[in-house]
Structure 1
Amino acid sequence: MLASLRSVFSLMLSTLLMMVGFGLASYVLPVRSVIEGWSTLTISLIATGYTLGFTLSCIITPKFVARVGHVRVFAALITLLSIAILMCGLVIDWRAWIVFRAISGFAIAGSYLVIESWLNERVTNENRGMLFSCYLITTMVGTIGGQYLVPLGDPTNSSLFILCGVLFSLALLPTALSSSAMPAPPVQASFDVPGLFRRSPVAVVGAFLAGAMSGAWLNLGGVFTQKIGLSTAEGATLLAALLAGSAISQIPIGRASDKMDRRIVMVGCGIAGVVSCLAMVAFSGSSPLVLYVIAAFVGSVLFPIYALNVAHANDLARPNEYVEISSGMMITYGIGTISGPLMVGPVMDRFGPASLFMVIAVYFALYAAYAAWRIAQRGHTDGLVSKSDFQANTVPTPGTEAVNAMNQAVRPSERVEDDTAPPQSS
């Protein structure tokens, strides 16, 4: 175990530093936006720039990696991350921030791709669970730690932006100086979302809705905390509580979905999401402690549902189709993350900050209803397919789950199924 951890120590350290910077940036930017008096719609447009850049990077960055290698690409992307956040502190204009955030989204998606591709080269069937659990913990600790840096500084000046740029730059050093062998270039796969929809409609629709929900929360959650009057420390704790709920629930949800029709678990998660979001609306004026507890319940289903959809799509795949399916899910999820802030921003401007959770509750209801409708249309799939293993995600960011799906696509040699069996539609 210790030998396995030593082999990926530089990757984990780079990840930790990058996620501290990410956590800081993802909280200080909406806080500063509110201070500047920008509307929620304007902040949504800035968020859309980030998610658009992130999604494009998932398609484009592998081409650069194949051409010049992981370390050079990682160095270039980290440099872009530092430049983008420093420019946000230098130029306080929402139109410029859309561009800077698009650059940030592109850069951090590519950085995930490099780190996670490298990590996948180091894992085996024997240490996969342990190493990815360590990776999960590292990303969560880094993100939460970065968010808690905001109360220690002053969002009204450039100090936190400079600190964030320093953290991103430091994240380059462990990986750049590592003596480990470089990983193989990532697999290039074609995208066939219409074909994927014909294969598994519930997986595609669920991935889109999961992207819309997480994109809305991750980009506007900081706005919500400011608008309801929480201090920056209280807001950081609420964001942390939601992430902690996600980390705790992934294994139970995964085990449940491995033992029954995954669509039943989707219905249950959707119902739980509706109830918890409505509770957040009802108690949005309550004490911070109450909000922390409710946020943990929201997070327990908000982020794990994407992994449910990926697992369900892979249940219906032949061994040579896993990467193509994961890539299609990546694109679908990315489109969802782009649409989420655009849909929610105007609603928050019109009906107030708590309406963020009203919209997410509607998305959860659609998620549950569509899965239930597909069960009614096709019946249960238990016994009809050979299930893939549920893969827990890292701490989610807009599109991170999609990158994970591409990087963690199960290799054909790791699963034994009947390659001639016709796929089932669900």
Structure 2
Amino acid sequence: MRQIWKPFRALYFAALMMLIGSGLLSTYLALRLAAEQVDGLWVGALMAANYFGLVLGGKLGHRLIGRVGHIRAYTTCAGIVCAAVLGHGLVDYLPAWLFLRMIVGLGMMCQYMVIESWLNEQAEAKQRGVVFSGYMIASYLGLVLGQLILVMHPQLGLELLMLVALCFALCLVPVAMTQRIHPAPLKPAPMEPRFFLKRVPQSLSTVLGSGLIVGSFYGLAPLYASQQGLSTEQVGLFMGCCIFAGLLVQWPLGWLSDRYDRAVLIRSFALCLAIAALPLAVFPSVPLEMLFGVGFLVSLLQFCLYPLANAFANDHVEPERRVSLTAMLLVTYGIGASVGPLAAGVLMKFFGSQSLYAFFSFFALVLVWRIRPKAVTNLHQVDDAPLHHVAMPDSMTSSPLVAALDPRVDEQSVHDQMHVIPDPVQDAPVHEGEVVPLADEADEAAEMGDGRKVGRSLSEEEQ
């Protein structure tokens, strides 16, 4: 495995530095506003702006990469992100911070797209799963390390913003110094929202609920912990512990997902999440040991929802549509993660900090009500379902292009969906091709109507 990861060390390092900076920035801003007695609505709005930037960057990133190439796009966005991070220290006007957070999200999404397209270009088909796992580990490890910096440097001064900017500056080095051939720029795969809303409605509902919960967690959990009386070092430990739970659960989750009905698992995890969050939702103040224990358990459960929904959806979508499916899931997640922190911030402002975990519990119960395993018809289930579970990262740590690294996506299926045409914009031979999607409405209509009846049909609603 080390030999497979070795050629990608530079890209893993770039992802690691990006996520250290991103994780530290989110927690720092929440704690900074909490120290200045700013209500949770603004803290939630900052995280919502970040996710809005991520979603927007997924659309604009392809155009930028297609116009100037991968390295120029990456270095441009990294420079802009550095400037936006430092801008938080120059301006105290909160509406300006919203704009800066959106710019950070937009720039990071473009950086994700460059790294992921490069990984996909250089990874052999049989190694894609291992390369993908290395990218995930680097990303989540970066998020955890970003929180632990607060343990070593608890003062909420401008030094932390300088550290964030330093991380984004260092992530420039491995990409700017690469001698590898540039990958061909990709245009976004067709989203086909109506198709997926009809084909996998329960998976999309789960992803939306996961975005609402996890987006609120990243933005407002530091504020909640601060209002529980935790010091800056303890808040960093709390957040690091919770994010580490999300990484820790992925492997046992994959074992369960490959052996049991995924709709039942989603509903079960959602129910457990609703129950687990109740102690922190009911009591305004809890002991430190209980806060860490329950917080770890809640995070363990909430980070299960997106990977399960992704695997469940892939079971019912043809291989040639899986790149589009992942893009649709990430956008749906981003929408939920943009709305969730705003709504939870309002609740925390009027009903206290414990409303954050009440928010988690409520939407987990909504998923219990919404996910109905008996409504799954299996009408469009693929031949080899259930597919091997792959722990897909969310839009906090990836772009829609991460779908091409998914080992369940056959390489030929990706080429069938994407078509290379000359691109006169590029000024170097390695940029002469541009990948664009093929859109054939007749084929889409044929696939919509060509479903195999596998298993039982208990209602007209399809998964």
User: Do both share a fold (TM > 0.5)?
Assistant: yes
Offset at residue 204 of structure 1 (A): 1.3
Alpha carbons of 1:139 and 1:378: their partners in 2 closer, same or farther (altered >3 Å)?
closer
Output the amino acid matched with 2:223.
Answer: V
| In structure 2, distance between residues paired with 1:160 and 1:64 | 30
* Deviations, residues 350-369 of structure 1 (Å, cap 9, x unaligned): 11111101111111111122
Offset at residue 239 of structure 1 (A): 0.9
Q: After the TM superposition, which residues 5-404 of structure 1 pair with which residues of structure 2 at under 5 Å, given as runs?
A: 5-153=5-153, 155-282=155-282, 285-372=285-372, 375-378=373-376, 386-387=384-385, 388-394=387-393, 396=394, 398=396, 400=398, 404=402
| In structure 2, distance between residues paired with 1:403 and 1:284 | 42
SS at match of 1:422: coil
TM-score by length of 2: 0.84
* Deviations, residues 8-55 of structure 1 (Å, cap 9, x unaligned): 011111112212211211111111111222111122222221111111
| In structure 1, distance between residues paired with 2:452 and 2:45 | 40
Higher helix share: 1
Structure of higher CA gyration radius: 2
Q: CA RMSD in A?
A: 2.5
Offset at residue 3 of structure 1 (A): 3.3
Output the amino acid matched with 2:253.
Answer: I
Offset at residue 80 of structure 1 (A): 1.4
Unmatched 5+ stretches in structure 2: 414-445, 454-461
CA contact 1:323–1:409 (8 Å) conserved in 2: no
CA contact 1:193–1:329 (8 Å) conserved in 2: no
SS at match of 2:124: coil
TM-score by length of 1: 0.91
CA contact 1:28–1:155 (8 Å) conserved in 2: no
Return 168-177 or 272-281, whichever deviates more: 272-281
| In structure 2, distance between residues paired with 1:47 and 1:362 | 20
CA contact 1:333–1:402 (8 Å) conserved in 2: no
Offset at residue 156 of structure 1 (A): 4.3
SS at match of 2:258: helix
The residue aligned with 1:422 is: 451
Alpha carbons of 1:59 and 1:18: their partners in 2 closer, same or farther (altered >3 Å)?
same
Alpha carbons of 1:319 and 1:152: their partners in 2 closer, same or farther (altered >3 Å)?
closer
| In structure 2, distance between residues paired with 1:72 and 1:179 | 14
| In structure 1, distance between residues paired with 2:41 and 2:85 | 21
Return 60-69 or 404-413, whichever deviates more: 404-413
> For this pair of structures, how many residues does the alignment match?
421
Offset at residue 206 of structure 1 (A): 1.1
CA contact 2:25–2:161 (8 Å) conserved in 1: yes
| In structure 2, distance between residues paired with 1:181 and 1:84 | 30
CA contact 1:109–1:403 (8 Å) conserved in 2: no
* Deviations, residues 104-131 of structure 1 (Å, cap 9, x unaligned): 1101112112112222223334433333
Unmatched 5+ stretches in structure 1: none
* Deviations, residues 163-191 of structure 1 (Å, cap 9, x unaligned): 21122111100111022222232352122
| In structure 2, distance between residues paired with 1:401 and 1:281 | 33
CA contact 1:246–1:300 (8 Å) conserved in 2: yes
| In structure 2, distance between residues paired with 1:389 and 1:202 | 19
Output the amino acid matched with 1:162.
Answer: M
| In structure 2, distance between residues paired with 1:328 and 1:274 | 26
| In structure 2, distance between residues paired with 1:403 and 1:27 | 27
Return 177-186 or 150-159, whichever deviates more: 150-159
* Deviations, residues 223-258 of structure 1 (Å, cap 9, x unaligned): 111111111111111111111211121122223222
Offset at residue 6 of structure 1 (A): 2.1
Alpha carbons of 1:138 and 1:324: their partners in 2 closer, same or farther (altered >3 Å)?
closer
The residue aligned with 2:425 is: none
CA contact 1:113–1:407 (8 Å) conserved in 2: no
Offset at residue 336 of structure 1 (A): 0.7
Output the amino acid matched with 2:102.
Answer: A
Q: State the identity %.
A: 25
| In structure 1, distance between residues paired with 2:309 and 2:408 | 15
CA contact 1:261–1:381 (8 Å) conserved in 2: no
CA contact 1:65–1:73 (8 Å) conserved in 2: yes
| In structure 2, distance between residues paired with 1:119 and 1:22 | 21
Offset at residue 62 of structure 1 (A): 1.6
